[in-house]
Amino acid sequence: MKAIRVHKPGGPEVLILDEIPIPEPKAGEARVKIDAIGLNYVDIYQRTGLYPLPTPFTLGMEGAGVVDAVGDGVTEVKKGDRVAYSMVLGSYAEYAIVPAWKLAPLPANVDAHSAAALMLQGMTAHYLTHSTYALQPGQTALIHAAAGGVGLLLVQIAKNLDATVIGTVSTEAKAALAKEAGADHVILYTQTDFAAEVKKLTEGHGVHVVYDSVGQSTFAKSLDCLRPRGYLALFGQSGGPVAPFDPGILAAKGSLFLTRPSLNHYTLDRAELLQRAADLFAWTASGKLKLRIEKTFPMSEAAEAQRQMEARKTTGKVLLIP
């Protein structure tokens, strides 16, 4: 089968289209024939070596398709089931091996492209707003990179929870998308001091929660945006990793809470995973959550897709098709 593999960490040019044997599922695993692959920022951290992995490896943490074979003891799915999954390495390929418990069966009204757009970024937006910091009606959230893959979903879910949403983005075109998704206020954080703007918008009080996936360039000011005992969910570093810091800063800035969550720890078992997936599928089917699948590339053009994501040229979801 064809697969996009990394033989050594580096720029997009290290993504190689290899021909490798179709893998066999072991006990507890299923083989999925992939119809759509979700592109995620984590793919870039893994390709560059920011998140080191033993080489060679097949990239990709999200996919949707059809179960094509199962290993011993698998009860969760059977051959022919339409499924989607995330947080298992190896989806940039024609077939992927996935622990069966991680596969979410797709309802008839959810197609493979939508599912591949929902599993990783959607479940992330779900756990951030429902579990990491459970947003309450009337509370205010600051969401960085609000027109990105996670960003557009976070904005919509926060609005569905009746929160006030302040989004940050780098361009006017992205600002329009964040507003369309429901953001009450949008700040161009590449041109404006977003902390000063947030203070103004909240009449000096600050926000209840900041969902920060940018990291290095936003971290310090994100803390400045919080009200006393506010909550910073630092869930990514598209702008670079945050440097070590003195926890005393959290006291000085208002007895703040800081967490660095990962989707793995919010889909700890099949019940938790299926509950989040069921909400996302239902919201998408009912129109409460709108997906923006902005670009679809053939898998062989994965390097170009990643180049565009790294250069901040993508909005919403990007898919690869094997």
Ligand X SMILES: NC(=O)c1ccc[n+]([C@@H]2O[C@H](COP(=O)([O-])OP(=O)(O)OC[C@H]3O[C@@H](n4cnc5c(N)ncnc54)[C@H](OP(=O)(O)O)[C@@H]3O)[C@@H](O)[C@H]2O)c1
- Chain contacts with ligand X (rule: CB under 6 A): 40-42, 120-121, 124, 145, 147-151, 169-170, 174, 213-214, 217, 235-239, 261-263, 309-310, 312, 314
**What SS3 string covers 224-256?**
HCEEEEEEEEECCCCCCCCCCCCCHHHHHCCCC
Dihedral in degrees, nearest 10, Cα atoms 63, 68, 69, 75: 70
Q: In angstroms, what is the minimal distance from the CB of 7 to ligand X? A: 23
Q: In angstroms, what is the minimal distance from the CB of 108 to ligand X? A: 27
Distance of CA 242 to the CA centre of its chain: 19
Q: In angstroms, what is the minimal distance from the CB of 144 to ligand X? A: 7
In whole angstroms, give the CA distance from residue 21 to residue 3: 10
Q: In angstroms, what is the minimal distance from the CB of 42 to ligand X? A: 5
Nearer to ligand X, 208 or 276 (CB): 276
Q: In angstroms, what is the minimal distance from the CB of 239 to ligand X? A: 4
Cβ within 8 Å of residue 115, ≥6 positions away: 36, 64, 84, 104, 106, 281
Residue with tokens 């066999």: 24
Nearer to ligand X, 63 or 151 (CB): 151
Nearer to ligand X, 50 or 278 (CB): 50
Residue with tokens 């083989």: 31
Nearer to ligand X, 222 or 237 (CB): 237
End-to-end CA distance of the chain: 10
What is the DSSP track for 101-126?
GGPEEPPTT--HHHHHHHTTHHHHHH
Nearer to ligand X, 162 or 172 (CB): 172
Helix extents (H) in 31-94: 41-48
Nearer to ligand X, 70 or 183 (CB): 183
| Rounded (5°) CA angle 319-8-50 | 70
Identify the helix (H) or strand (E) that includes residue 305: helix 302-310
- Please state, in angstroms and as integers, the Cα–Cα distance from residue 154 to each residue in 237, 289, 322, following that order: 17, 10, 28
Residue 172: both structure tokens together: 């006017």
Nearer to ligand X, 256 or 309 (CB): 309
In whole angstroms, give the CA distance from residue 204 to residue 206: 6
Nearer to ligand X, 304 or 310 (CB): 310
